[in-house]
Structure 1
Amino acid sequence: MRRTSTDSPPPAWDHRTTVRTTRVALALAACSAVLLALVAAEWRPLVALDGDIARTTHRWAVTEHGLTRTSRILTDWVWDPLTMRLVCAAAAGWLVWRRRAWWTALWLAVVCALGAALQQSLKAAVGRPRPVWPDPVDSAHYAAFPSGHAMTATVVCGLLLWLLRHRGAGRTVWRAAVAVAAVCVLGAGLTRVWLGVHWPSDVLGGWLLGALVVALAALVYARGLERGGGPGTAHR
């Protein structure tokens, strides 16, 4: 049986959208570069602000046992990077199985993998130590900048929101998806600061870099399909 692929340029995508997305990507790249430079240079005002916020939230986390326990469950099981990547893989599988959108599924998987590679490369290059406490409420491995939880949640939620928006999701579905994505992205970052395993600027860096990956991926997606990327038909 022959089924037509649903890979097609996003219906709401035009030249103005390309220009806006390019501007957003440039702004995100500039902000990410500035923050990266400040973190790498250990700029004192940033280090001081990070320390003040981290000490305050850690003091709260030590005393608020219920909230801290909930944060650990959410960060370890719901907003963990592995969980987010599995959600992305499930979405890619659904695109292939139900929609025959091979190009879109491949794009989704590749962008998610590249985002993870960028995150790990920056961690290794910057080598920023994590906060150290005499009475820790949680632990984490690898370098601190950028936050893997914050970046991965931003990439996955951003990609899925972009697909929903440009594939004609209804208003109710769109609003619900935006609300869920906002909770996931904000929660993934804030719980890391609360648990004392990241500096606030680590989380901010994760959000900025994740958003940059999504913006660049959207441009690549639209450009690829405009040039005939992706299969025209699929067989079953």
Structure 2
Amino acid sequence: MPVRATARLFRDSRRTDRRFGARLLGATAVAGAAAVPFALLLVLVEGHWQPLRRLDASAALRLHRTALDHPAWTSTLRFLSDWVWDPAVLRSVVALVTAWLLWKRAWRLASWAAVTAVGGALIGLLVKLVVERARPSLQDPVAQAPGFSFPSGHAMTATTSCAVLLLVLLPMVPRAWRPVCWGVGVVSVLGVGFTRVALGVHWFSDVVGGWLLGTAVVALTAWAFEAWRTDVGRRRTEFGEGLEPELTGTEPERQDA
């Protein structure tokens, strides 16, 4: 290939990479403000809207009574919350998948996974520090958790982590099994939220806030990745097949396109 043509391809590739990086970081930076449902919920929480406060209090008290009456059930919830669905566990799994993507030389998909996970965690922490909502204070608590309450870090981490795992690994799952994978992801995300409210360490609205904010982060970073695919001439992916179908190995990956 002539030197001039090679240089032009290199410049085009570099420009595409810069646009991809700008979209990815920009999408993460505006994720909190772009999530209209989350913003509305945040206003209601900050404004101490009475119907929401009553809903939170009612859910907390009912589930707390159940937790006190059924110690074995409560122990199961603690195990799921602290070991299976703990943010550190989920982030470690995402980190392993990201390392695998780097080994596969899927640089941009690895970047997407890392930015989605890390960016989501930082955004959630920032919102917690801004809102400074106190956690539920219950008589005879069955669990304790440090820090502020809104949004739920467990719920948000479960949302972003399960989404990353699904959108990265789905191309390698037979189509007949993909609904099962989606089902496991949805059950995990909902289950995390339930355990946090049932253990009395979060209000119901904290969990909903975590779900909404996590969904916003994933949607915006996934949009940025899809925009990069369009820039380099790849086909648009269909819902349910993951972000990078080329990982199956049936198509050349061409990460340098």
TM-score by structure 1 length? 0.82
Q: CA separation in 2, counterparts of 1:214 and 1:205?
A: 14
Q: Partner of 1:6 in structure 2?
A: none
Indicate if the aligned counterparts of 1:102 and 1:231 stay in contact, CA closer than 8 A: no
Indicate if the aligned counterparts of 1:164 and 1:174 stay in contact, CA closer than 8 A: no
Q: Which runs of 5+ in 1 are unaligned?
A: 1-24
Q: Partner of 1:144 in structure 2?
A: 149
Instruction: Please point out which of 39, 49, 53 is paired with 1:43.
Output: 49
Instruction: Please point out which of 111, 130, 138 is paired with 1:133.
Output: 138
Which runs of structure 2 are paired with 1:153-192 in the superposition (5 Å)?
A: 153-165=158-170, 167=171, 169-192=173-196
Q: Partner of 2:94 in structure 1?
A: 88
Q: Partner of 2:83 in structure 1?
A: 77
Aligned residue pair count: 207
Letter of the 1:34 partner, please give it.
L
Answering whether residue 36 of structure 2 is matched by residue 30 of structure 1, we say yes
**Larger Rg belongs to:** 2
Secondary structure of the equivalent of 2:149?
A: coil
Alignment RMSD (CA, Å) = 2.3
Answering whether residue 217 of structure 2 is matched by residue 213 of structure 1, we say yes
Q: 1:232 Cα shift?
A: 3.3
Q: Which runs of 5+ in 2 are unaligned?
A: 1-30, 234-252
Q: CA separation in 2, counterparts of 1:213 and 1:153?
A: 12
Q: Partner of 2:255 in structure 1?
A: 232
Indicate if the aligned counterparts of 1:161 and 1:178 stay in contact, CA closer than 8 A: yes
Indicate if the aligned counterparts of 2:150 and 2:209 stay in contact, CA closer than 8 A: yes
Q: 1:103 Cα shift?
A: 1.0
Secondary structure of the equivalent of 2:138?
A: coil
Indicate if the aligned counterparts of 2:135 and 2:201 stay in contact, CA closer than 8 A: yes
Q: Partner of 1:203 in structure 2?
A: 207
User: Deviations for 1:151-184, whole angstroms, at most 9, x for unmatched residues?
Assistant: 000011112222345x364223312211221121
Indicate if the aligned counterparts of 1:138 and 1:196 stay in contact, CA closer than 8 A: yes
Indicate if the aligned counterparts of 2:38 and 2:209 stay in contact, CA closer than 8 A: yes
Q: CA separation in 1, counterparts of 2:175 and 2:226?
A: 23
Q: 1:231 Cα shift?
A: 8.0
The sequence identity of aligned pairs, in percent, is 46
Structure 1 residues 93, 103: closer, same or farther in 2, change over 3 A?
A: same
Letter of the 2:255 partner, please give it.
G
Of structures 1 and 2, the one with the larger relative CO (CA 8 A, separation 6+) is 1
Answering whether residue 72 of structure 2 is matched by residue 66 of structure 1, we say yes
Q: 1:228 Cα shift?
A: 4.5
Q: Partner of 2:5 in structure 1?
A: none
User: Deviations for 1:76-115, whole angstroms, at most 9, x for unmatched residues?
Assistant: 1111111111111111112122x32111011101110000
Q: CA separation in 2, counterparts of 1:155 and 1:170?
A: 23
Indicate if the aligned counterparts of 2:106 and 2:255 stay in contact, CA closer than 8 A: no
Letter of the 1:187 partner, please give it.
G
Q: CA separation in 1, counterparts of 2:183 and 2:226?
A: 25
User: Deviations for 1:28-71, whole angstroms, at most 9, x for unmatched residues?
Assistant: 82211110110111111101110011101001111111110011
User: Deviations for 1:200-228, whole angstroms, at most 9, x for unmatched residues?
Assistant: 00001111111111111110111133334
Q: CA separation in 2, counterparts of 1:82 and 1:128?
A: 22
